[in-house]
Amino acid sequence: MDAVSVWRIADWDLDVGTSDSGSIYKHQCMSCGQTSGAAVTADGPDVWCLRHAKRTGHTEFRGTVTTFFRASLAEGPR
Ligand SMILES: [Zn+2]
């Protein structure tokens, strides 16, 4: 029996937020490195920055948003 190779060329889609989890927000103080902790909205980390600034005088922060993606085979011809 001869070996047969089959090549399939397909298009793929990349979708945002198809996992069970939405985006995750987390802020970090640029002066001391303390972090807000992770949250499902930016509100909590934003308030943490304001409280941290009031308490420490540190005024610069970095925000990180983690977003989940899922790749899947595209349906139908393109
Ligand atoms: Zn700080």
Q: Give 6-39 pLDDT, tens digit per residue.
A: 666 678 888 886 567 789 999 999 999 999 999 9
Q: Which amino acid appears at position 34 of this protein?
A: Q
Query: Which pTM was predicted?
Result: 0.71
Quick check: 29 and 60 in contact, CB under 8 A?
A: yes
* pLDDT score of 71: 84
Which residues share a beta bridge with 69?
16
Does residue 1 register a pLDDT over 60? no
Q: In this structure, which amino acid lies at residue 27?
A: H
Q: How far is the CA of 35 from the centre of ligand 1 (A)?
A: 8
The predicted pLDDT at position 42 comes to 93
How many Cα atoms sit within 13 Å of 43 on the Cβ side? Answer: 2
Looking at mean pLDDT, say which of 1-5, 13-17, 64-68 comes out highest.
Answer: 64-68
Cα–ligand 1 centroid distance for 45 (angstroms): 13
> Residue 37 C-alpha to ligand 1 middle, in angstroms?
13
- CA 67 to ligand 1 center in whole angstroms: 25
Q: What is the phi/psi pair of residue 43, to 5°?
A: -55, -50
Share of the chain above pLDDT 70, in %: 81
